[in-house]
Amino acid sequence: MSFAITIRMSNSKIHKLVFTRDALVQGILKRFAKRSDDGIKKYGKTMLQATKSIAQWIDDAQEESWDKIVYLEKIKIELQKGGKDGKKEKEKER
């Protein structure tokens, strides 16, 4: 079950904060918020304030997708070896 709290900010904007009792989702939301804060610190603005051309946004999304494909391939190789520590490989050597 999740619930929302609506708050009015000093600039008269209304924001809805969503909460959940699901610990997994809470962890994801915390990591997401930290990533956002890190980006604001690095670039000095929020994603809402960021300005790029549509082509630049597409390029950024493609680059992130390519990275994801590489990460997934690495994970697949590690799983085939028996996990990050390569247990299956070590067991075969014995």
Map 39-78 to HEC letters: HHHHHCCCCCCCCCCHHHHHHHHHHHHHHHHHHHHHHHHH
The whole-angstrom separation of Cα 73 and Cα 81 is 12
**49 vs 35: CA distance, rounded Å:** 16
- pLDDT reported for residue 1: 64
Reading the chain (94 residues) residue by residue, the pLDDT tens digits are: 666 676 666 666 777 777 888 999 999 999 999 999 999 999 999 999 999 999 999 999 999 999 999 999 999 999 999 866 656 555 555 5
Q: Count Cβ atoms below 10 Å from residue 42 Cβ, excluding itself.
A: 8
* Rounded-to-integer distance, Cα 57 and Cα 9, Å: 29
What b-and-e string marks burial along 75-92, b requiring 16 or more CB atoms within 10 Å of the CB? eeeeeeeeeeeeeeeeee
**Three-state secondary-structure class, residue 94:** coil
